[in-house]
A and B are shown apart, each in its own frame.
Chain A
Amino acid sequence: MARLLAVTIIVIAIVSAIPVIMHTWEAPADISTHGQMIDDQMADTMIEAGISFLAAQILLALFIWKSPSNKPGPEGKFKVFPGGAKGLIIASIVLVGVEVLALGAFGSKAWARVYFTPPAADSMPIQAQAGQFAFYFRYPGKDGKFGPIHPELISEATQNLFGLDPEHDVESRDDIVAAELAIPVNKEIHLLMHAKDVSHSFYVPALRIHQDFVPGLDLSVHFTATKIGKYEIVCSQLCGLGHYNMRAYLEVMSPEDFDDWQKKQAAAQ
C-alpha cells in the first residue's frame, strides 16, 4: 500500500503540473507597459515553485516507495538521512530561503514600477468612482480640472453620479461622465479612485492593474495601455449581492478616435 501511495503522489504531481506547463489556463494577454515585469516575475516564481513542488513530492514518494524494503542494520538501527537534520536545515535555508528571498527582491522591482513611480507630468487624469454595482468615470474636460464631489448631491435618480454642482462650481461644468473607461493608446493614465459606498476593486487582468477602492481614502494608480481594444474591468472586492455583475469596459482607442469619443460625450452631457 505504501508503494501505491508513492505512485499516486507522483501521478498527482505530474498531472497537476501538465496544465501549467501547457499553459492551458492563462490570464488575458498583457496590454500594459509595466505588465511584462509582472509576467516575468510570475514566470520565474512558477519555475521555482514548480521545481520545489515536484522535488518535494517526488522525494516524499521516493521515501514512501522504499519504506517497505528498508531493513535495520546489524545493530537494529535503520538508516538515517545522510547529513541528518543539519543537512536538511541547511538545504531549507539555502535552496528555499535564498530562492524565495531572491524572488522577493526581484519582485519588489515590479511592485516599485507600479507603485513607487509617480505619474508622468503629462499623464491624463481620469476619475473612477465605484458604487454598488457600477463603475463610473469622469474626465476633467477642457479646463483640465475636476469639479469637487458633493456626496450629498450624489443621486442615481437624477443621474448626478458624482455629486457635481455645476451651478456653483465652474470646474464641474465641462466634466464628462461616462460608464466606460475610454483611453487613448500609449498615453499614461492617472486614475483617481473614489469609493461611493463600500469597498470595491478596480481589476483589469489585461492591464495588470489591481487596486481596491477604499471609502474615505483617495487612492490612485497610473498605467499606459499599448494595444487598442475592449477589455473587461471587474470588481474583485466583495461589495454586495450584485458583486459578480459589477463590471465596466476599458476601451483603448487611437488618439483620433479618443478625441472623437470625447467630443461626442461632451456634446451629450
Chain B
Amino acid sequence: MHDKPAVSTAPAVVHGPPTTFISKHVFSLDHKVIGKQYYALALAAVLTGMVLSWLMRIHLGWNDLAIPGLQALSPNGAPSGVMTPEMYLRIMTMHATFMVFFVLTTAPFAAFGNFFLPIQVGAEDMPFPHFNMMSFWTTFVAFCVLVTAFFTTDGPPLSGWTAYAPLSAIGKDTGPGQGTGQIIWAAAIGIFCIGQLLGALNFISTVLDMRCKGMTLKRLPVTAWAWFITSCMGLTAFAVLMPATILLILDHVAGTSFFIPSGLVINDQLVPHSGGSTLLWQHLFWFFGHPEVYIAIVPGMGIITHVLITNMRRPMVSMKAILYSMWALAFLSYMVYGHHMFVSGMNPFSSLVFSFPTLMITIPSTVLVLIWIGSLYGSRIRINAASLFALGFISMFVTGGVSGFFLAQPSIDIMLHATYFVVGHFHMVMGVAAIFGIFSGTYFWFPKMTGRMMNETLGKAHFWLTFVGTYCTFMPFHYLGWAANVRRYSAFTDDYLKPLIPLHQFITIAALFTGAVQLTFLYNLVHSLFRGAPAPANPWEGTSLEWTMPSPPPWNNFGGKDPVVYHDADQYGVKTASGADYIMQDSPEPSPTGC
C-alpha cells in the first residue's frame, strides 16, 4: 500500500455517451448501467431461488402434501403434485446454484461494485468498458444456460451445488439429470467464471490505475477496498473453478477420467473409466468454494461499514483494523478450504493442518465485529432502513460466525459434517448476513442509482419482519444439526430423525413468512423506481465521491471534470465553516483531523 497521490493515467474519456437505445440500456459500456443490469439479474435469480426454497421447505415439512400447480410444472417430478425425491434434489441443486453464484456473487460485488467503484475512485468508467459489458452479458448467458436445464428432457442435475464427483462425472446412469443436466450445469458455471474473471480484472485495474488526483490508496472508501479485495479473491478462485468445470465436462463427453477412478460399477455394469481421482474435484471445488464465502461476504462488510460511519456521523474506531482484517480473511480463505473435507478421506493429518488456519480466521472476524461494536459505543446512530440492516448484519455475522468454532474442529466435524448445522452456519454467515449487506446497500444507494428515494417506513417494516423471520428460519437449523439431522434428505424416514419433523415444520412456516415479507421490499423497489420522491444529490450527508454528483449520475459521472480529492471518506463529526458535520472528499476545506 503506497501513499503517493495517484493521478489517473487512463484517457480522460473512456467512452462516449450512448447514442441509441441499445447502447444505452442493453449493450451499454456505462459501468452504472452494467451495475443495474447485474442487480436486475440478481433480483431475478433471488426470486427464482427463493421460490425453489419454498418448495423444498414445504416438502420437508409435509412430505406427502400435494403442492398446487407443481404437477403442471413438472408432471414427472411431482405426480399428483407431490414432489419426488429426485425433484427435491434437483430443486435443491438449482436453489443453491442460483443463490451462491447469481445472487451472493453478483449483487454485492458485481452490481454495487460496478455502479460505485469507478465513481468512488474518481474515474469516468472502468478501464476496459467492453470487457465490463462482456462480463455482464457472459454472466447473463451463464444464467440462461443454467435455466435451460429445467427445459431439457434430462432435467436439472441432482448432485447439489458442490457437484461432487464421481456422481457428477459419470453421466446419466448415476441418476436423473446427471447426463445433459449436469453438463449444462458445468457449462453454466464455467461461463459464469469467465464473466467474473473479466469483472475482477476490471475492478483491480480500476482501483490501481483509475484513481483521480488526490485519491491515494489510504483515501479509498472502505467499500472500494472491499470490492478490490473481493476482486483479488475472485481472480484466483474463479480461475480454478473454470478449468475444473471444463474437466468435468470432458469426463462426460470426451471419455476422459479426471474425476473417475477405475472399478466402479453402476447398474451392474463396469464404468468404462479409470485413473481419475474423486478427491481431485473436491480439492479444486473447495479451493474456489471457500474463498467464495468471502467473495459473498466481504463486499457486505464494506457496505455496512460505509453505511454505519455515514449514519453514526463518525469514523470507525480503526479503519485500518477493518481493512487489514478483510485482507486477512481473503488470505486465510485459501488456507482453510480443507475444513470442508475433514471426513472426505484425505490424509487425517491434513485435517489438522486445515483446522488451525480455520480457527485463526476467527481472529480477523472478531476484530471486525469488535471494531463495529466498539465504534457504536458513544455514537448516536441515525436509524433508517440502511442502518438497521447494517446493524442486523453484525448480529447475523456473529451468530453465523460462532458456529464456525464447531466446524473448524475435525473432531466435532465427525458429528456435524453434512448435517443441518452446516446448513444453518452458511445460511447465516454467507446467506443472510450477505443479503442484509445487499439490503443495506440497496436502501442506502437506491437514491443515487435511480434518482428516487425508497419508502423508509416500508423499508423499516421490511427489516423488522426479515430480522425476526430469518432468525426463526435459520437458528433451528443448528439444533437439527446437533441432533445429527443429515442434510440433503428429501424425507426423514430414519427413526432418530422422525422426532425432528415438527422442528422442520416450524422452519417451513418461518421460511414462508420471511419469503412473503420480501414482497414488501419488491413492492418498495418497483414503486419507488417510478413513484419515489426525487432524490437529492446527498440524501444521507455522505462524504465519498458518489454523493458529489446528481442523483442519478450523468453518463460520464463527473460531467467531464476531473475530480480532485483532499480527504479520506471518514470526515464525519467535524466542525466546518458551513456548519455541516462532515467534509466531502473533494472539498478543499482543511480537515481538523488533518487527513
Which residues between 100 and 140 of chain B lie within 8 Å of chain A, taking CB atoms? none
* Known A48-B405, A67-B379; contact A110-B411, beta-carbon cutoff 8 A: yes
* Known A100-B405, A214-B278, A237-B418; contact A78-B264, beta-carbon cutoff 8 A: no
A 235-254 binary contact with B (CB < 8 Å = 1; else 0): 11111111111010000000
* Chain A residues positioned under 8 Å from B67 (CB to CB): none
Q: Is the CB of B167 within 8 A of A59?
A: no
Nearest residue (CB) in A for B417 is A210
* Chain B residues positioned under 8 Å from A100 (CB to CB): 359-360, 362, 405, 408
B 321-362 binary contact with A (CB < 8 Å = 1; else 0): 100000000000000000000011100110110011001101
The stretch from A85-93, A137-145, A164-172, A173-181 touching chain B is A85-93
Which residues between 472 and 503 of chain B lie within 8 Å of chain A, taking CB atoms? 475, 479-480, 482-484, 486-496, 500, 503
Nearest residue (CB) in B for A82 is B377
Which among B174, B271, B359, B488 has the highest number of chain A CB atoms within 10 Å? Answer: B359
Q: Is the CB of A25 within 8 A of B345?
A: no
Q: How far is the CA of A28 from the CA of B499 in the complex (A)?
A: 12
Q: How far is the CA of A95 from the CA of B402 in the complex (A)?
A: 13
* Known A19-B479, A104-B408; contact A244-B360, beta-carbon cutoff 8 A: no
The stretch from A183-191, A198-206, A259-267 touching chain B is A198-206
**How far does the Cβ of B541 sit from chain A's closest Cβ, in whole Å?**
16
* Chain B residues positioned under 8 Å from A101 (CB to CB): 356, 359-360
Q: How far is the CA of A66 from the CA of B318 in the complex (A)?
A: 21
Q: How far is the CA of A41 from the CA of B86 in the complex (A)?
A: 37
Check B5 for interface membership: any CB of A closer than 8 A.
no
Nearest residue (CB) in A for B164 is A199
B409 contact from A104, A157, A216, A234, Cβ within 8 A: A104
**How far does the Cβ of B470 sit from chain A's closest Cβ, in whole Å?**
10
* Chain A residues positioned under 8 Å from B379 (CB to CB): 63, 67, 70, 78
Q: Is the CB of B348 within 8 A of A111?
A: yes
**For chains A and B in complex, what number of residue pairs have CB atoms within 8 angstroms?**
320
Check A107 for interface membership: any CB of B closer than 8 A.
yes
Check B508 for interface membership: any CB of A closer than 8 A.
no
Check A114 for interface membership: any CB of B closer than 8 A.
yes
A45 contact from B174, B405, B483, B486, Cβ within 8 A: B405
Check B176 for interface membership: any CB of A closer than 8 A.
yes
Q: How far is the CA of A212 from the CA of B413 in the complex (A)?
A: 12
A 53-88 binary contact with B (CB < 8 Å = 1; else 0): 100110110011011101100001111110011011
Check B468 for interface membership: any CB of A closer than 8 A.
yes
Which residues between 245 and 298 of chain B lie within 8 Å of chain A, taking CB atoms? 260-266, 268, 270-271, 276-279
Nearest residue (CB) in B for A98 is B363
* Known A116-B348, A241-B158, A244-B85; contact A78-B167, beta-carbon cutoff 8 A: no
A64 contact from B89, B376, B496, B503, Cβ within 8 A: B376
B496 contact from A110, A232, A245, Cβ within 8 A: A232
* Known A45-B406, A78-B573, A201-B418; contact A2-B378, beta-carbon cutoff 8 A: no
Which residues between 482 and 533 of chain B lie within 8 Å of chain A, taking CB atoms? 482-484, 486-496, 500, 503
Which residues between 567 and 584 of chain B lie within 8 Å of chain A, taking CB atoms? 573, 575
* Chain B residues positioned under 8 Å from A26 (CB to CB): 482-483
* Chain A residues positioned under 8 Å from B464 (CB to CB): 8
B 293-310 binary contact with A (CB < 8 Å = 1; else 0): 000000000000000000
Check B383 for interface membership: any CB of A closer than 8 A.
yes
B314 contact from A45, A78, A85, A236, Cβ within 8 A: A78
Q: How far is the CA of A210 from the CA of B196 in the complex (A)?
A: 36
Q: Is the CB of A12 within 8 A of B468?
A: yes
* Known A56-B373, A60-B391, A64-B391; contact A84-B344, beta-carbon cutoff 8 A: no
Q: Is the CB of B483 within 8 A of A236?
A: no
Which residues between 55 and 100 of chain B lie within 8 Å of chain A, taking CB atoms? 84-86, 89
Which residues between 381 and 433 of chain B lie within 8 Å of chain A, taking CB atoms? 381, 383, 388, 391, 394-395, 398-399, 402-403, 405-406, 408-415, 417-419
Q: How far is the CA of A236 from the CA of B343 in the complex (A)?
A: 11
Q: Is the CB of B343 within 8 A of A211?
A: yes
Check B47 for interface membership: any CB of A closer than 8 A.
no
**How far does the Cβ of B565 sit from chain A's closest Cβ, in whole Å?**
24
Q: How far is the CA of A98 from the CA of B467 in the complex (A)?
A: 32
**How far does the Cβ of B568 sit from chain A's closest Cβ, in whole Å?**
16
Q: Is the CB of A84 within 8 A of B278?
A: no
Q: How far is the CA of A31 from the CA of B41 in the complex (A)?
A: 51
Q: Is the CB of B363 within 8 A of A67?
A: no
Q: How far is the CA of A49 from the CA of B327 in the complex (A)?
A: 24
Q: Is the CB of B366 within 8 A of A64?
A: no
Q: Is the CB of A241 within 8 A of B317?
A: no
Check A134 for interface membership: any CB of B closer than 8 A.
no
Which residues between 1 and 59 of chain A lie within 8 Å of chain B, taking CB atoms? 1-2, 5, 8-9, 12, 16, 19-20, 24-28, 37-38, 41-42, 45, 48-50, 52-53, 56-57, 59
Check B374 for interface membership: any CB of A closer than 8 A.
yes
* Chain A residues positioned under 8 Å from B503 (CB to CB): 25
Q: How far is the CA of A104 from the CA of B487 in the complex (A)?
A: 25
Check A192 for interface membership: any CB of B closer than 8 A.
no
* Chain B residues positioned under 8 Å from A5 (CB to CB): 383, 388, 391
**Given A45-B405, A115-B348, A198-B166, 16 additional A-B pairs, CB 8 A:** A5-B383, A24-B479, A25-B479, A25-B482, A49-B402, A67-B381, A70-B379, A89-B367, A103-B405, A110-B411, A115-B351, A132-B266, A208-B415, A232-B496, A241-B176, A247-B494
In the A-B complex, list the 5 residue pairs whose CB atoms are closest, starting with the nearest: A216-B261, A85-B318, A79-B378, A110-B411, A115-B348
A residues near B, CB below 8 A? Answer: 1-2, 5, 8-9, 12, 16, 19-20, 24-28, 37-38, 41-42, 45, 48-50, 52-53, 56-57, 59-60, 63-64, 66-68, 70-71, 76-81, 84-85, 87-89, 91-93, 95-97, 100-101, 103-104, 107-111, 114-116, 131-132, 149, 151-152, 154-157, 163, 195-199, 201, 203, 205, 208-212, 214-217, 219, 232, 234-245, 247
28 residue pairs of the A-B complex, CB under 8 angstroms, read A25-B479, A25-B480, A26-B483, A41-B409, A53-B398, A53-B399, A56-B398, A59-B373, A63-B373, A63-B377, A64-B376, A67-B380, A78-B573, A80-B317, A81-B317, A81-B375, A89-B318, A92-B370, A115-B348, A155-B268, A195-B264, A199-B167, A199-B278, A205-B415, A208-B415, A216-B262, A237-B164, A243-B85
